[in-house]
Amino acid sequence: MSDLPPIGPLDSSRVPRFAGFATFARLPRIDEVERADVAVVGVPFDSGVSYRPGARFGPAAVREASRLLRPYHPALDVSPFAERQVVDAGDIAANPFHIGEAIEKVQQDAEALMAGGTRLVTVGGDHTIALPLLRATAKKHGPVALLHFDAHLDTWDTYFGEPYTHGTPFRRAVEEGILDTAALSHVGTRGPLYGKRDLEEDRRLGFGIVTSGDVLRRGIDETVDALRQRIGDRPLYISVDIDVLDPAHAPGTGTPEAGGMTSRELLEILRGLRDLRLVGADVVELAPAYDHAEITAIAASHVAYDLVSLLALEKSE
C-alpha cells in the first residue's frame, strides 16, 4: 500500500461545484489513484423492475446531486476522504436485454474491484443488482448479515415465472447460502402485500421486520439498539432501496408507498451503526424521471455519503 495521503475531492473554493467532472462528491476516478480503499460504483440497470422503469439513470443523478457534499461529516466526526482513498469507479456496463448475463457481469466486475481490498458502495439501478453484489461480498467474507432498508420485502419467489427480478434478490440469496440467516433484518417496510403468506414465507427465510410504523413508535435509539443486537460482530452488508423513504422525501422511485420513513430517520439509523463490521453497501431504485427538484437524488447521495463515511471508520483489512 502506498504511503501517500489520499487524494480528495476538488476544492470548491477553486473549482465551482457546478463545473468539472461529475464524479461522486467530485472525487478522483479510480484510474487517477494508486489504490482505492472505498469505491463508489454505478450499475445503470433497471431491466428487473416490475412497475415504473428509469432506475438505469440513477447513478448519473446521484453523482450530479453529490456535487454539494462536503469533506467533513460532523455527525460521525470523520473526514472520510482524508481517512481513506475514496474513488469513483465509474459504471458497470450490464446488459439491459438479458437479466442473467447482467447479473453475471455485475458479480464479475464487483469481484474484480474488491480483489485488492477495496470495499464498494454501489449505486443502482434496480434492486436486482443486490444479488450479484452479495455473491461477490460473500465470496470474500463468507455469509454476511444483511440490513435491508426498503418499503418492500423483496423476498418473493418469481414474477411472471422469472426468478431474477428486483422483488426476488434476497430469497435467492438465502437459497444460495450467502446470507447469515441469524442476522437478517428489513427496516421501513409498509404497504399492502399479496397475502399474509408473504410475511410467513419471509419469516421462514430468517428475516426480522422493523416497519416504518415501528420506527415511528420506538424511535431511533431503540431501533438502532435492536438492529445492533441482531447483527452482532458479523460482517454486514447494507442494502438501501430509496423507496424506504416516504414519497414526500423520495418521489423519484419506481414503486412508491405512502407512510414511509423520513430522510432524517434513515440517516440517523445509519449513523447509529458505526463500529459494526460493514463490508459493503448499495443504494438503489432512484428513478430520476419521477423526481422533483432532485429531492430523491439528494437523499440518495447523502445516504451514499453516510455509507462511505461508515466504511472510512472501519479498520482496513
The pLDDT assigned to 316 comes to 45
Query: What number of helices (H) and strands (E) belong to the chain?
Result: 10, 8
Of the candidates 114, 89, 88, the one whose C-alpha atom is nearest the C-alpha of residue 8 is: 88
- Angle among Cα 179, 308, 268 to the nearest 5 degrees reads 85
Instruction: Give strand ranges (E) for the chain.
Output: 38-43, 86-91, 119-124, 144-149, 179-189, 207-211, 235-241, 277-284
The pLDDT assigned to 315 comes to 61
Grid cell 461529516 in the structure block, residue: 73
The pLDDT assigned to 2 comes to 58
Residue-wise burial string across 198-237, b where 16 or more C-beta atoms lie within 10 A, e elsewhere:
eeebbeebbbebbbbebbeeeebeebbebbeebbeebbbb
The pLDDT assigned to 92 comes to 98
Confirm if 243 and 260 have CB atoms less than 8 A apart: yes
- Angle among Cα 239, 242, 245 to the nearest 5 degrees reads 120
The Cα 28–Cα 25 span in angstroms is 9
User: pLDDT tens string for the chain (317 positions)?
Assistant: 457 899 999 888 888 888 888 999 999 999 999 999 999 999 999 999 999 999 999 999 999 999 999 999 999 999 999 999 999 999 999 999 999 999 999 999 999 999 999 999 999 999 999 999 999 999 999 999 999 999 999 999 999 999 999 999 999 999 999 999 999 999 999 999 999 999 999 999 999 999 999 999 999 999 999 999 999 999 999 999 999 999 999 999 999 999 999 999 999 999 999 999 999 999 999 999 999 999 999 999 999 999 999 999 986 44
Grid cell locating 171 = 430469497
The pLDDT assigned to 15 comes to 83
The Cα 247–Cα 203 span in angstroms is 27
Phi, psi torsion values for 193, nearest 5 degrees:
-120, 175
Of the candidates 45, 44, 23, 43, the one whose C-alpha atom is nearest the C-alpha of residue 33 is: 23
